Structure 1
């Protein structure tokens, strides 16, 4: 079975992205019809994020993802992820709370976590700016200021190194 993402998460991220561009009215219409408590195809989410990232560019997508992640923090808290330690100590657990039957290749695992830093790895098909903005937004939602964010790639794996204060 392919993965499914809950409507509340789908709408929060992609709704903001489609609102930023008038080039995707069909996506905006579909997102506007979604229900928060219904599950939608992960493949559709991945496909739409790629299209929107190509149209909007890296900086816009990162900024939109950052704002969206801050706004969705109550959803994460409702799943029990109510601290930086719980979110970044096992990021994949949060991701699996948002996406049921998440394809293994799209997981994002915590490599290391310390009180002021984390390293995460993924082979996800989601755009790097979307992931980076999401990480920044979650940290900002907990009142943390990101002081360093590095992305390195080795093979098909991206490593995100984050520091905050």
Structure 2
């Protein structure tokens, strides 16, 4: 009988320890921030946010009823540009409006004037994209954007 009560006592202690450990682990999991939720922060880009073109783009789109985000940082290396930004239009995160500033002497600016396309190349991509030029800026919006026609029409006389 003594061995049975010792076994019961050991079983009770072990079960208590396991429950305590599980409770602490659950608490640690609850205390951790959720990593699955994307954190969106608008990043001010001084090189572009001070430009009149950005202000004109943003105000035109907003005045026409589009919901336009603050400028987000873009990857200028992909386009071989000096700097770049994106604007989300009507909450479309996967297809933002891209605005890149190129050097005034960049030959691709005249390519866009002549063809309406910009050739981009990197290790994995070699493609031509439909683009619009304004001074030393290239403006690009993916043709799959739900508001593509309206946005590009609005930017025609930019």
Query: Shared topology, TM-score over 0.5?
Result: no
Q: Per residue, is there more strand in 1 or in 2?
A: 1
Rg: which structure is higher?
2
Q: Per residue, is there more helix in 1 or in 2?
A: 1
